[in-house]
Amino acid sequence: MSPMSAAALASVLSFVVFAIMTLLYVAPWLAIRQRAEALIPLLWVHAFRHVALQIYSAQQFGFAVSDRARDEIAAGDVTCMVLAVISIVALHYGLRMAPVVVWALVAATIVDLVNATIAGVREQLFATASGLTWLILTFYVPLLWVSLGLIVWQLYSRRQEPLALAHA
């Protein structure tokens, strides 16, 4: 199997496993939580997106990514990480602007993930990914997409609910 085929298969399998986990465990758990309490764990998935900064090291060790794509990927992920952390704090403290910040994260994440996907296809990044880069592409990126879908679901379907946390 080629590295590209293996990476594609690993990504699909990650999506399948995350979908099963979501249907069996995550969605039922989210349904019995208050809105902020449901959103915060989903946002924590995005709070570690600074791991994408490893792309600078990966490029030095043979990951065939252009400087432009490298910089766009890193900037997009760090921006989304900052928005995720701000969202978590805003939700924790029940700030009225919290949903707006979370929606900003959603928009930025969609732009970032689509842009990174286009760059990945254009530059055939799956073909040269290895080590941590391969793991990010085949495990973490699918997790970002699934958690993003869950965030949108929570924001939209529960938009009339108050933000209060259970312990507040």
Question: Tens digits of per-residue pLDDT, 9-42?
Answer: 999 999 999 999 999 999 999 999 999 999 999 9
Domain assignment present for residue 64? The answer is yes
Lowest average pLDDT, out of 72-76, 104-108, 148-152, 157-161, goes to: 157-161
At 156, give phi and psi (nearest 5°).
-75, -50
**Global pTM?**
0.90
- CA 56 – CA 77 distance, rounded (Å): 13
Domain assignment present for residue 89? The answer is yes
pLDDT the model gives residue 112: 97
Quote the longest CA-to-CA distance of the chain: 53
Determine the straight-line distance between the first and last CA of the chain, rounded to whole angstroms: 53
Token couple for 44? 């924590």
Domain assignment present for residue 77? The answer is yes
pLDDT at residue 89 greater than cutoff 90 = yes
State the virtual CA torsion across 58, 59, 65, 70 in degrees, nearest 10: 80
Domain assignment present for residue 166? The answer is no
Structural domain total, the chain: 1
pLDDT at residue 81 greater than cutoff 60 = yes
Domain assignment present for residue 167? The answer is no
pLDDT the model gives residue 131: 87
Domain assignment present for residue 66? The answer is yes
Domain around 67: 3-157
Is residue 120 within 8 Å of 137, Cβ to Cβ?
Answer: yes
Domain assignment present for residue 163? The answer is no
